[in-house]
């Protein structure tokens, strides 16, 4: 593959700066130009206005890219995978698309965005305990979603109702798998499966493999939340796959 432009769509309400390690490895291994992209509607403050549906996000991105920069490789993490899929489908310059532990639909183990968390917590230990009661391990708790006050208490940094409305507007269930299958007929599709913690149950991965056998499942020992220390492992695996296309 010639020098690509890699465009990262972060997870919901996460800043592109959180993915510096991942983009650094991709830039080095693929000699790629990299950029993180966050539409206004999914900026660090989730209550900002902007396009919220994946097609709108992708169209906004494509309108800002300079002509002639191809091949392009959209990469989406978690909820950002919805926008990455849309970008790949709408962009004639797309060469491949990589999705990092996307929600694969109703076969998923749980949807953290549906979990009602209090607006204020006494500290990190209480936050972890509340999520644990819902079966969500601390590795999946996104610390960027919380502001730590000077007294050590935590304040929710996102609008829960806006998140719910956005997640409700995204594809769900079998529609997600069908989108991936259709995309795999015209593009190379690689999906990172994080074995140390995935939002998807084994059944979801089995359904994906049966429905879209040409999709490359990239198994990596990492958590869904993709902490910086694990990003280099994930990025190296994605670079190996892209380099072989």
pLDDT category at 112 given cuts 50, 70, 90 is very low
For residue 42, name the pLDDT band (cuts at 50, 70, 90): very low
**52-56, 116-120, 146-150, range with greatest mean pLDDT:** 146-150
What was the pLDDT predicted at 130?
85
Q: What does the pLDDT average to over 44-63?
A: 58
- SS3 letters for 179-228? HHHHHHCCCEEEEEEECCECCECHHHHHHHHHHCCCCEEEEECCECCCCH
CA distance 74 to 167: 20
Q: What are phi and psi of 174, to 5 degrees?
A: -60, -25
Q: By C-alpha distance, which of 20, 29, 44 is closest to 227? A: 20
Predicted model pTM? 0.79
Q: What is the reported pLDDT for 46? A: 42
Query: For the domain with range 5-109+171-243, which CATH number is right: 2.60.40.1180, 3.40.50.1820, 3.60.20.10, 3.40.630.20?
Result: 3.40.50.1820
The predicted model gives 105-128 an average pLDDT of 71
| pLDDT range class, residue 189, cuts 50, 70, 90 | very high
How far apart CA 223 and CA 209 sit, in angstroms, is: 21
Quick: pLDDT tens for 136-186.
Answer: 777 777 777 788 999 999 988 776 776 666 666 677 777 888 889 999 999
Arithmetic mean of pLDDT, 204-214: 92
Q: How confident is the model at residue 47 (pLDDT cuts 50, 70, 90)?
A: very low
Pair 61, 51: CB distance under 8 Å: no
Q: What is the overall mean pLDDT for the chain?
A: 79
Percent of the chain at pLDDT above 70? 75
């Amino acid at each position: 593959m010639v020098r690509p432009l890699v465009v990262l769509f972060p997870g919901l309400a996460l800043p592109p700066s959180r993915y510096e390690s991942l983009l650094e490895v991709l830039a080095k291994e693929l000699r790629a130009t990299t950029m993180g992209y966050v539409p206004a509607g999914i900026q660090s403050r989730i209550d900002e206005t902007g396009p919220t549906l994946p097609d709108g996000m992708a169209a906004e991105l494509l309108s800002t890219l300079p002509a002639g920069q191809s091949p392009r490789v959209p990469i989406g993490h978690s909820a950002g995978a919805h926008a990455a899929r849309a970008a790949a489908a709408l962009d004639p310059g797309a060469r491949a698309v990589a999705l990092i532990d996307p929600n694969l639909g109703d076969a998923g183990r749980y949807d953290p965005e549906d979990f009602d968390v209090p607006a204020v917590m006494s500290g990190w230990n209480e936050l972890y305990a509340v999520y644990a009661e819902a079966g969500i391990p601390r590795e999946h708790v996104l610390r960027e979603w919380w502001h730590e006050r000077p007294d050590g208490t935590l304040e929710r940094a996102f609008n829960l109702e806006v998140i719910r409305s956005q997640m409700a507007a995204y594809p769900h269930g079998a529609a997600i798998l069908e989108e991936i299958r259709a995309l795999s007929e015209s593009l190379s599709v690689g999906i990172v499966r994080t074995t140390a913690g995935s939002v998807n149950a084994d059944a979801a991965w089995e359904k994906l493999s049966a429905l879209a056998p040409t999709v490359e499942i990239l198994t990596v020992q990492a958590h869904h939340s993709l902490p910086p220390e694990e990003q280099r492992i994930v990025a190296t695996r994605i670079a190996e796959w892209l380099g072989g296309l």
